Amino acid sequence: MKQGFHRLAIVAALLAFCVIVLGAYVRLSDAGLGCPDWPGCYGKLTWPVQDADVQIANEAFPERPVETHKAWKEMAHRYLAGALVLMVVALNWLAWRSRGPARNLRGKTTALFVLIIFQAALGMWTVTLKLLPIIVMGHLLGGMATLGLLIWIIYDSRYTSGYRSGPQLRAVRPLVLTALTVLVLQIALGGWTSANYAAMVCPDFPTCQGEMWPNSNFREGFTVSRDIGVDFEGGVLDLPSRTAIHVTHRIGAVITLIVLLYTGFRLTRIATVQRIGILLVALVSAQFLLGVLNIVLRLPLANAVAHNGVAALLLAVLVGLVYRTSPAHR
């Protein structure tokens, strides 16, 4: 039971990572409304392909004609997310029927189930509220939280007899927690940037629109409450508002780079996590480079998706480090 639970948690975490990456691909290829209804697609379990089905779908949704190249991406993401829900259900089943160490994980697996159901609701609202920015950003953060909780469960199911960190690891715990907090805030900023279509309002680097501090409207750019019913595809904010979002994300990127590099180099001085420290340094350096390339190369799809994927990997590494630096478990 112990080994089976642990392996299933690993598979679920890998699937959660794939869902995050595929979700980024859907969002960045402007396919977030590829299916205007939920949970089906134009009233079908798949998506309209035959000419007759396409005609019926177009008549039912005249405001959003069928675009097959977008619809299949959206449905593929839903199918993969559905598979993740089933894995979370399986983890709960194993934990609640176990009489061994896995029973100690019932609270975490239950929390994971609640989170994944709320994440599904966010996915629905993303469509029904027509890409409302706060929902889109929340959906991204929900995916990251799901991955983070699965990483924690992987560690907990590995050290079923208890875990205790050494004094060197406990000493860097505040730094690791700070790094994780900074990263989560930067991921949220990235989600807000993407949800408001602000990624390319500054086509130059390191300047923005030819200036070090361009005209920006921070109040409007970071207004969370928006009218319901508006189609937010393509964005509704003016240039100064989007510029404020983009500039803030750039500043956050520099802060994140500094904090995570410092954390990584500190960890390389501790033998038990030296390799993880090196990995952290490599990942955050790659992430910063991908961010710069997004601007210089004008947001190529593969590069932008990779930017989201590396953010998820950084989160996984730091959540694992938070576990490793904890004083004790069980």
- CB neighbour class for 90 (10 Å; exposed up to 12, middle 13-18, buried from 19): middle
Provide the 3-class DSSP secondary structure of residue 328: strand
Look up residue 169 and give its two tokens. 């690891």
DSSP code, position 35: S
Task: Give which of 31, 80, 293, 291 is closest to 187, Cα–Cα.
Answer: 291
Residue 330 CA to residue 321 CA, distance in Å, equals 17
Q: Would you say 242 and 196 are in contact if contact means Cβ atoms under 8 Å apart? A: yes
Alpha carbon dihedral 155, 156, 161, 167, in 10-degree steps, equals: 60
220 as an active site residue: the answer is: no
Encoded tokens for 87: 């894995």
Are the CB atoms for 143 and 187 separated by under 8 Å?
no
Among candidate residues 59, 67, 74, 233, the one labeled active-site is: 74
Q: What is the DSSP letter of 216?
A: -
Contact 246, 266 (CB under 8 A): no
- DSSP letters for 138-169: HHHHHHHHHHHHHHHHHHHHH-TT-EE--HHH
Q: Which two tokens stand for residue 3?
A: 């080994």
Helix and strand numbers, DSSP H then E, in the chain: 11, 2
- Catalytic positions: 74
